Amino acid sequence: MQIFSLCILLSSYFIYNSMGAIDQQAIDDLHLVCHLAKNVHVKARKGVEAERASELSQYFPNLLWVLRDFHLRLVDSKGSSVSESDYLENALRPLPGQDDKNKVREVIKDLFKDRDCVTMVRPVAEESDLRNIQKVPYESLRPQFRTQVE
């Protein structure tokens, strides 16, 4: 895992790929990556006081969160359309009375100052086609998926 963390610190872009909507589990998984990368950096600076996440952000790449098999409509509480980036920012907003979860969200926002989100629908409708996706001709993929890929 330290090699993976080191790769993040040496990269200019980190593409985080997850399935479905951004939920607490997905945020916790991304936080684990952040935590490991912070540890690699702090260990490399032995003898120096531990840095805050906001100070470490200069060593972290841009974040692109790709949400595969995304099924939600991108709308706010009033039913108005929101962008994928707005969806990500809303998912990282603090939750009332959830101090521990809010700390995780803050660390992610502090470390990845430049972040964006892309959603992709499921490439095929049929489960059997999904199991053999490598054999499905490109033209048979869902038109919305093809548009997103192109």
pLDDT of residue 48: 47
The H or E element containing residue 150 is none
Q: Which residues pair with 81 in a beta bridge?
A: 75
Burial 56-69 (b: 16+ CB within 10 A, else e): beebbbebbbbbee
By C-alpha distance, which of 133, 113, 115 is closest to 124? Answer: 133
Q: Are the CB atoms for 55 and 6 separated by under 8 Å?
A: no
Rounded to an integer, what distance in angstroms lies between the CA atom of residue 40 and that of residue 124? 40
The residue type at 52:
R
- Please report the pLDDT score of residue 7 as a whole number: 79
User: What is the structure's pLDDT at 47?
Assistant: 45
Per-residue confidence (pLDDT) for residue 50, from 0 to 100 = 44
Closest CA to 67 of 93, 82, 88: 88
The reported pLDDT for the residue numbered 67 is 94
Predicted local confidence at residue 36, as pLDDT: 61
Which of 108, 112, 133 has its CA nearest to residue 123? Answer: 133
Average pLDDT across each block of 10 residues of the chain; the chain has 150 residues. List them in order: 73 90 86 65 48 68 93 86 94 91 87 93 91 92 92
SS3 47: coil
